[in-house]
Amino acid sequence: SLQKKTNFAMKLILVVPCYNEEAVLAETTRQLSLILDELKEKQRIDEGCILYVNDGSKDRTWELIEQFAQQNDYVEGLKLAHNVGHQHALWAGLEWAADRGDAIVTIDADLQDDVRAIIDMTEAYLRGNEVVFGVRRERKTDTVFKRTTALAFYRLMQMMNSNTVYNHADFRLMSRRAVNALLSYPERNLFLRGMVASMGFKTEAVYYDRTERFAGESKYPLRKMLAFALDGITSFSIRPLQLITLLGLTFMLISVGVIIYGIVKHFEGQTIEGWTSLMVSIWFIGGAILVACGIIGEYVGKIYIEVKRRPRYFIEKTTTDDDPLADPYADIPY
């Protein structure tokens, strides 16, 4: 209950992955600090922290994080040794926060997600929810192409029997218990929005309006969006492999029909004009085989990555003196 949870000291950590975000970082820090101040004034939290995870930025992002950490008591930072991608940067932040906070919010640095939704998420957490999803009401700020492809992606994920929340990205609050449960997942191919939704804890959704990016450029061009969608599908569903089998059976039925047709025409004494149909069949079936091999290859590639068990990331530097993760892979057998 709300009364029960507010009887204990509560620390809220905001995990913010950053990749070349120098243009927006000052405003992000200001707005998130105001949110933490308001939550403390309302006695919803006792402590707050803004954890920036620098994912191999090539601009002044880390320099600014160090500067803000000296000026702002809320700010702390992790500098990853190289760019590992958005999902792994989030994972690094969650591992750091798991034993330091009671509730952890993940949010992007570009301020497109409404930071005031964090207040509603905290209230939902205090009501006993372990996971609170930030869900966009509409996508008015997106282009027609992005809205259409996003809708197609979520529908495709539903067809593939994947647990995803429509219009939810990686803006969410999780309790310490939920974060530790998530961190028990061993895979290296991360699709966090599907992994979190599949855990089964008590959840609630907080709806908000997505705004334009405050500054800078999007870090998710079409190429990365397609790669992310492919990761989501192949990480959470074997339906594409099942579709290959169905496609093979369909071709077998078609071939049986063609054989029957050829036999009938032979006994009727009619010549089969086979050049066009033969060439079309060869190209079509050949293309289908290559697509099937490509889909199987995606799964084999993921198995290859998983069995190597390489570390997800390395931390080069922090804004504090303590070692944030002394040995995060001590329990991994080699």
Distances from the Cα of 209 to the Cα of 14, 125, 255, angstroms: 20, 20, 53
Classified as helix, coil or strand, 205 is: strand
Residues whose CB falls within 8 Å of the CB of residue 168, separated by 6 or more in sequence, listed in order:
133, 134, 135, 136, 193, 205
Diameter of the chain measured on Cα atoms: 92
CB 105 within 8 A of CB 14: yes
Q: 182-226: per-residue pLDDT in tens? A: 999 888 878 888 888 888 899 999 999 877 655 556 555 556 666
3-state percent breakdown (helix, strand, coil) of the chain, nearest 5: 50, 15, 35
The structure's pTM equals 0.71
Q: Is the pLDDT of residue 154 over 80?
A: no
Q: 125-140: per-residue pLDDT in tens? A: 999 999 999 998 876 6
Q: Closest Cα to residue 216, out of 58, 105, 63?
A: 58
For 82, the token pair is 């190289």
